[in-house]
Amino acid sequence: MDVTRELAKYLVSSSLKEVPEGVRHEARRAILNYVGCAIGGSRQEAVEIAARVLGPYSGPGTSSVLGRGERVDPLQASFLNGISSHILEYCDTTPKNYNHPSSPMASALCAYASTTVVAGPAFLHAFILGFEAQTRIANATYPAHYNAGWHTTGTAGVFGAAVGMGRLLKLDLQQMIWTIGLAATQSAGLREMFGSMAKAFHPGRSAQSGYLAALLAQGGFTSGVYGLEGPRGFAAVLSTAYDLDKVTRNLGVEFELPYNTYKPFPSGIVIHPTIDGCIQLQKEFQLTAAVIASVRLRVAPLVLDLCNKKRITSGLEGKFSVYHAAAIGLVRGKGGIAEFTDEAVNHPDIRRVRELVEAVGDPTIAEDAVAIEVVLTDGRRIAKRVEHAIGNLARPMTDTELEEKFRDQAGRVLPMSQVNEVIGMCWKIDKLEDVRRLISAACVA
């Protein structure tokens, strides 16, 4: 079975009117969330460094960077959009495979759409196709690929960016096959980078690499034609087990977008149940740092695999510490952007409570659940069990909550009138004649 060819065939022949409205609306939600994250993260240190270092290497500035003012070439804009949309750890997540699909893909599409006229429906369709392709590829190799240590947002993300761009560039079948091959052979990103700027580098570089793949394929740059399924192709080399049927089965009939979720807390998603439960406890018992004597968490084993650092000094590390997650929930009763800064991580109250937290892996606890026990200084024991963390598919963020999240992030960067204008355009993106209107509104004038 020619998986790469089958997928490419669908990508070049699909039409937007075959996509159900429910899927389109989920795509609008994902785009809204993406744009908010990209604006919200656009002034973070990692973005500032990358923009400063790479500015002198930019080609003609035909492209805008979301949330920012400079004009750079679209490959560089893809890269910067990718970093900024991921750096706050506020991305969307597909729980089937722990991928953050919008960041790498939409970062390329937005960079392109700021250089030329892209009609709203074409943009939405490319987004949907890029989402489906990368999610199916991630599903096909999950969990072996992820468990091996790959950061799927890098490794699968490059496919989303490549084929989304391929669709916008109107590639033919042969070119789309090469695009997939050129994406496969750039697929990279190690989970070892979690807690450093290099994590957000992954969707940045994947966005740029996917864009590059589509450009080169359009120009006739050839690749192997079995990029996904070949004996030395993506699946065989990057995963010890896989089911490539998941890439092609019911393409265009079943969609993955309805299984997308949005992070309510800017941190690694597996610590969300802990934040959620600790916030509930703080509110219920009006907790303060001073009254907490000890904290015991029972968490899914994956949580300790990913987020087991207690001695931390930076906000980026805090996003991957289940101990920090418990501390901010119990001490501050919230888990917003301010709770994952260097300041919060080094705050004496939070640091003290963090040190009081113990976490044990328990295979009977699901990955979106947690059991929390707190002993207070007066000897009382209080407890909370979360079965499905907020933001999960069982408790999805509403459209209104997504708008609030958008305003909370983007309002730190752009005037609120501009922020509201962007939100409005995201909801009706497929009515826009030129997506540049949205991108311009999402940047510093």
2, 23, 230, 440: which one contacts a copy of itself (CB under 8 A)?
230
Please, are residues 235 and 187 in contact by the beta-carbon 8 Å criterion? no
Where does this chain touch a copy of itself (CB under 8 A) — which range of 10-18, 45-53, 159-167, 339-347? 45-53
Q: Which residues pair with 375 in a beta bridge?
A: 294, 381
Measured from the CB atom, the residue of 191 and 347 that comes closer to a copy of itself is 191
195 binds a copy of itself (CB under 8 A): yes
Measured from the CB atom, the residue of 3 and 410 that comes closer to a copy of itself is 3
Give the list of residues 6+ apart from residue 365 with CB closer than 8 angstroms, or none.
298, 299, 300, 371
Please, are residues 156 and 94 in contact by the beta-carbon 8 Å criterion? no
* Angle CA 24–152–36, to nearest 5: 50
75 binds a copy of itself (CB under 8 A): yes
Measured from the CB atom, the residue of 227 and 277 that comes closer to a copy of itself is 227
Please, are residues 345 and 313 in contact by the beta-carbon 8 Å criterion? yes
> Measured from the CB of residue 432, what is the shortest distance to a copy of itself in angstroms?
26
Site string for a copy of itself, 271-290 (x = CB under 8 A): --------------------
Measured from the CB atom, the residue of 45 and 433 that comes closer to a copy of itself is 45
Using CB under 8 A as the binding criterion, the count of chain residues that bind a copy of itself stands at: 62
346 binds a copy of itself (CB under 8 A): no
Measured from the CB atom, the residue of 51 and 426 that comes closer to a copy of itself is 51
Where does this chain touch a copy of itself (CB under 8 A) — which range of 7-15, 44-52, 292-300, 405-413? 44-52
> Measured from the CB of residue 243, what is the shortest distance to a copy of itself in angstroms?
18
- Phi and psi torsions of 266, nearest 5°: -80, 75
Find the binding residues for a copy of itself in span 10-39 (CB under 8 A): none
226 binds a copy of itself (CB under 8 A): yes
15, 17, 21, 56: which one contacts a copy of itself (CB under 8 A)?
56
**Which whole-number Å values give the CA distances from 166 to 23, 123, 217, 423, in the listed order?**
21, 12, 8, 27
54, 291, 302, 366: which one contacts a copy of itself (CB under 8 A)?
54
Measured from the CB atom, the residue of 135 and 186 that comes closer to a copy of itself is 186
- Per the structure block, which two tokens stand in for 92? 């969307």
What is the rounded CA–CA span in Å between residue 242 and residue 62?
Answer: 40
What is the DSSP code string of 2-44?
-HHHHHHHHHHH--GGGS-HHHHHHHHHHHHHHHHHHHHTTTS
Q: Which amino acid is at 32?
A: L
- Phi and psi torsions of 355, nearest 5°: -70, -15
Measured from the CB atom, the residue of 241 and 293 that comes closer to a copy of itself is 241
234 binds a copy of itself (CB under 8 A): yes
Q: Which amino acid is at 388?
A: H
CA dihedral 196, 343, 291, 321 (to 10 degrees): 0
Q: Are strands 292-299 and 357-361 parallel, antiparallel or unpaired?
A: parallel
Sign of CA dihedral 416, 422, 424, 427: negative
23, 119, 144, 216: which one contacts a copy of itself (CB under 8 A)?
216
What is the DSSP code string of 241-278?
S--THHHHTTBTTB-SGGG-EE-SSSS-GGGHHHHHHH
189 binds a copy of itself (CB under 8 A): yes
202 binds a copy of itself (CB under 8 A): yes
Where does this chain touch a copy of itself (CB under 8 A) — which range of 94-102, 121-129, 165-173, 214-222? 214-222
193 binds a copy of itself (CB under 8 A): yes
Site string for a copy of itself, 314-333 (x = CB under 8 A): --x-----------------
> Measured from the CB of residue 45, what is the shortest distance to a copy of itself in angstroms?
8
> Measured from the CB of residue 75, what is the shortest distance to a copy of itself in angstroms?
5
What is the rounded CA–CA span in Å between residue 445 and residue 440?
Answer: 7
Find the binding residues for a copy of itself in span 138-157 (CB under 8 A): 148-151, 154
Find the binding residues for a copy of itself in span 82-141 (CB under 8 A): none
222 binds a copy of itself (CB under 8 A): yes
What letter does residue 190 receive in the DSSP assignment? Answer: B
Can you list the alpha helix ranges (DSSP code H) found in 55-101?
A: 74-87
Task: Return the closest-CA partner of residue 35 out of 407, 417, 432, 401.
Answer: 407
Q: Which residues bind a copy of itself (CB under 8 A)?
A: 45-46, 49-50, 52-54, 56-60, 73-75, 148-151, 154, 178, 181-182, 184-198, 201-202, 205, 209, 215-216, 218-227, 230-234, 236-237, 316
